[in-house]
Amino acid sequence: MNASTQSEDVAPASRAAGVRTSWLFAFLPNLTLLVLAILAWQFASTVWLPRVDPHMAVLMPAPTTIARTGAGMIASGELFFHLLASLKREASAFVIAATAIPLGIAMGWWRLVYNQVNPIMEILRPIPPLAWIPLSILWFGIGDEQNEFIIFLGMFFPILVNTIVGVKNIDPNLVRAARSLGAPEHKVLTRIVLKGSLPQIITGVRIGLGVGWMALVAAELVGANSGLGFLINDARSMLRTDTIIVGMLTIGVVGLLIDTAIRVLGRRLLPWSLALSR
């Protein structure tokens, strides 16, 4: 009896592990080109470029050099310091940009609000966040507020537009069904409209955080004393190409991690959503 339950417990786990390793083996060959490219890069930086023009070699640090620099920056806490500064800006900007969710719901639900607010949004939306940098520096000076303002602008519109679409795409029969079961208007709004548009809102948050992350780096290039954008721009002035590339890779990896985290979170929180499970 005991043995049989044990084997039942073990079977699915080992099967899952089997699936995972076989998936890994199927995926690994896809990395052939990447590995070859890194090897060619290594060869060019350490053997070929120094022979052709030693000055050029400085502009193209070898993968091993970059790895060494990266490890050193992690050990000293320098990379973490700048990463934390950037993440803090991204987070505070998101808190403010989240106001796009209630605004989007109001615009999606009440025609009057949409008709009044939409013209303003349509004028502001096509202006790239980076075009706000000169004005924002005059308004806020150089520092966190100015940075966060630029990031906020990058996040706000994707979240707003997706929330509006989410509300407008709710099956009208769900709203009717709720009313027909006796739901008062405020319950229809919270239990049906908000709930039903959540998958699309999460998609908006994903896109918003992505755009915000791009705007963040640009904002830090110009007006900051910390952060990953500052790090790579500061390294430029000292010709530290290895530091620049470590910073760039960090920006890429963290951007991917944020995106993946939101996706996983969305799937966990809204298991019923077919749109998110895709």
Partner 1 sequence: MGHLAVKNLSKIYGSPDSTGSVVALRDVTLEVQNHQFCAILGHSGCGKTTLLNIAAGFEPPTTGTVAIDDVPIRVPGWQNTMIFQDYALFPWMDVCQNIAFGLEMKKLPAHKRKDITSHYVDLVGLAGFEDKFPHQLSGGMRQRVAIARALAVQPHLLLMDEPFAALDAQNRTFMQDELVRIWQREPKTVVLVTHSIDEAIKLSDCIAVMTRRPGRVKEFINVNLPRPRDEDDIAYLQLRRRLRDLIHEEV
- The residue ranges that bind partner 1 (CB under 8 A) are 171, 173-174, 176-184, 187, 191-192, 195-196, 198, 270-274
Smallest distance, partner 1 to C-beta of residue 128, A: 36
Q: How many CB atoms lie within 10 A of CB 234?
A: 18
Query: For 101, phi and psi rounded to 5 degrees?
Result: -70, -55
Smallest distance, partner 1 to C-beta of residue 212, A: 27
User: Strand, helix or coil at 239?
Assistant: coil
What is the enclosing helix (H) or strand (E) of 106? Answer: helix 100-109
Smallest distance, partner 1 to C-beta of residue 111, A: 18
Smallest distance, partner 1 to C-beta of residue 215, A: 32
Q: Are 175 and 168 in contact (CB under 8 A)?
A: no
Residue linked to tokens 């908000």: 194
Which residue, 29 or 182, is less far from partner 1 as judged by CB? 182
What gap in Å lies between CA 26 and CA 20, rounded to an integer? 10
Contacts of 197 (CB under 8 A, 6+ apart): 105, 108, 163, 166, 167, 169, 170
Which residue, 5 or 180, is less far from partner 1 as judged by CB? 180
Q: Are 204 and 195 in contact (CB under 8 A)?
A: no
Which residue, 126 or 184, is less far from partner 1 as judged by CB? 184
What gap in Å lies between CA 133 and CA 215, rounded to an integer? 10
Smallest distance, partner 1 to C-beta of residue 159, A: 20
Which residue, 101 or 245, is less far from partner 1 as judged by CB? 101
Which residue, 54 or 184, is less far from partner 1 as judged by CB? 184
